[in-house]
Structure 1
C-alpha cells in the first residue's frame, strides 16, 4: 500500500497552515472580550472568529487530503 507522496505533502501543508491559526484565533477572540470598552471590539471579534473558521476549514481539508492520499481515492 503506497501513498501518493504529492497528495500527502499537500495534506500536511494544509494541516500546517491550520496549526498557528488554531492558537491565534482564540487569543484574538479573548482579546476582543477583554477590551469591550474599545470601539473596535466587534471588528476584532469578527476577525478572530474568521481565523478560527479558516483553521477548521484547513484542518478538514488537510484530513480529507491525507485520507485521499493514504487510501488512493481518485478524483
Structure 2
C-alpha cells in the first residue's frame, strides 16, 4: 500500500508563484493609483498599460500557484 505524501518540490514552486502574485497584487493597484493621479504627465498611458499588465499577471500567477499547490498535495 502506497502512502500519499506532499510533493515538497512542487509545493515550493507553488509558493513562489503565490509570492509573485502577492507582489503583483500590491504593485498593480499602486501603479494604477499613480497613473490616475498624474493624468497631465506624458507617461500617463504607459504607466496605465504596465499597471493593467501587472494586475493581470498577479491574477494569472495566483491561479497557477493554487493549481501547483493543489497538484503537490493531491496528485
Q: Aligned residue for 1:38?
A: 41
TM-score, structure 2 normalization: 0.91
d(CA) in 2 for partners of 1:23 and 1:70? 28
Structure 2 residue ranges without an equivalent (≥5)? none
Q: What is the CA-CA distance between 1:26 and the residue it aligns to?
A: 0.2
Q: Secondary structure at the match of 1:37?
A: coil
Q: Aligned residue for 1:70?
A: 73
Structure 1 residue ranges without an equivalent (≥5)? none
Deviation track 1:6-60 (CA, whole Å, cap 9, x = no partner) reads: 1111101100111111101101001100001111111000001111111111111
Q: What is the CA-CA distance between 1:65 and the residue it aligns to?
A: 0.3
Looking at CA atoms only, which structure, 1 or 2, has the larger radius of gyration? 2
RMSD: 0.8
Alignment length (residue pairs): 72
